Structures are given as structure tokens and as C-alpha cells.
């Protein structure tokens, strides 16, 4: 119960930083996606089910922030990212420094590209192929630079508030 509240507080804090602070730090109109990084961090730390649940919650928050996209699009993408990263977790070396950064880069690239591609398939005329590739690459690089900080926060919260047997995020 307490862990769920802590994760919810972390997601709300990330939303506030992403909407209030990061517009001033945007490079070329693009900014990092903290919610996606939190999903990757939780999936890497705790596994598939917490990655799925946090991915859905973070995606739904993202959908509610973007007023021009259909609700559920980011929830679908973030849930998929949480599942894939959580599934890959047992195959990673626990003390690896490069694997989490590589996964942050790839998940940011695929998450941004997947979101844009689904928007394009749903008829969003604002999305072009060149813009989609540029946005995916920029967000992936930006997220990779922030990944060590976000992953450290997620790991520390996970250590401080471990998963409970039978809990909501288990």
C-alpha cells in the first residue's frame, strides 16, 4: 500500500517537472520523457508486473496531459515498454553499467517512435516521418543522459519500500 503511494507520488512529481520545468530546458522543442524513464526504472528494478502497472499508470497520465491525442495511446506504448523491459530483466548482469543505459536509450527510441507511429496510423496529420525520427532520436539521447539519476531514485525507493507479497504492485 505504502509503496503504491510512493510510486504515485513519484509519477506526479515527474509530471510536474515535465510540465513546469522541462519546457524551459527543451532542445529543438523536444524534452525528455521522465514518465517513460520511471517505467523503465521500475521494470528493471522490480520486474514484469510492476513494470506493466506503472507503465499503464504513467501512460494514462501522459494521455491526460496531451489533449490532442486519443486517450490510451501512451498507456498502450508505456505498458508495452514496461513488459519488454521487465521480461529482459533476468537476462541482464545485475551490476552492469551499460545495460540500463542501453535499455533507456532503446526504450525511449522505441517508445517515442511507437507513439508517433500509432498517432500517424490513427490519422494525425501533424506527424511526419522526418519529425518522428528526429523526435525519437532526440528524446532517446535526452533520456539516456537523465537515466542514471532517475534509475538511482527508483532503485532507492524500491529498496526503501520493497514489494509486499500480495500487494498491488506485485
Question: 11-15, 63-67, 81-85 — which is least confidently predicted?
Answer: 63-67
Residue 20: inside a domain: yes
165 in a structural domain: no
pTM, full prediction: 0.91
Residue 97 is given by DSSP the state: S
| Mean pLDDT rounded to a whole number for the chain | 89
Whether the Cβ atoms of residue 154 and residue 41 lie closer than 8 Å to each other:
yes
Residue 168 lies in a domain: no
Residue 38 is part of which domain span? 2-158
| Domain CATH number, residue 116 | 1.10.1760.20
**Average pLDDT rounded to a whole number, residues 70-79:** 93
Q: Is residue 164 situated within a structural domain?
A: no
Is 166 among the domain residues? no
Q: Is residue 170 situated within a structural domain?
A: no
Distance CA 146, CA 150 (A): 6
Between CA 116 and CA 113 the distance in angstroms is 5
Specify if 112 maps to a domain.
yes
Confidence band of 94 (pLDDT split at 50, 70, 90): confident
What distance in Å separates the CA atoms of residue 45 and residue 26, rounded to the nearest whole number? Answer: 28
Nearest residue to 22 via CA among 41, 9, 37: 37
Is residue 149 assigned to a domain?
yes
Domain count, the chain: 1
**25-63 CB burial, b ≥16 within 10 A, e <16:** eeeeebbbbbbbbbbbbbbbbbbbbbbbbbbbbbbbbbb
39-62 pLDDT, tens per residue? 999 999 999 999 999 999 999 999
Report the C-alpha gap between 85 and 64 in whole angstroms: 24
Amino acid at each position: 500500500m505504502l509503496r503504491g503511494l510512493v510510486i504515485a507520488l513519484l509519477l506526479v512529481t515527474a509530471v510536474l517537472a515535465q510540465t513546469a520545468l522541462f519546457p524551459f530546458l527543451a532542445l529543438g522543442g523536444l524534452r525528455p520523457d521522465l514518465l517513460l524513464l520511471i517505467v523503465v526504472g521500475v521494470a528493471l528494478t522490480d520486474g514484469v508486473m510492476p513494470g506493466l502497472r506503472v507503465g499503464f499508470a504513467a501512460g494514462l497520465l501522459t494521455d491526460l496531459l496531451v489533449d490532442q491525442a486519443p486517450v490510451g495511446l501512451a498507456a498502450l506504448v508505456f505498458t508495452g515498454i514496461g513488459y519488454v523491459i521487465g521480461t529482459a530483466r533476468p537476462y541482464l548482469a545485475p551490476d552492469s553499467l551499460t545495460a540500463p543505459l542501453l535499455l533507456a536509450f532503446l526504450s525511449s527510441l522505441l517508445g517515442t517512435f511507437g507513439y508517433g507511429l500509432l498517432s500517424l496510423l490513427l490519422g494525425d496529420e501533424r506527424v511526419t516521418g522526418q519529425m518522428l525520427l528526429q523526435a525519437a532520436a532526440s528524446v532517446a539521447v535526452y533520456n539516456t543522459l537523465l537515466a542514471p539519476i532517475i534509475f538511482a531514485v527508483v532503485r532507492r525507493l524500491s529498496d526503501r519500500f520493497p514489494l509486499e507479497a500480495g500487494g498491488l504492485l506485485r
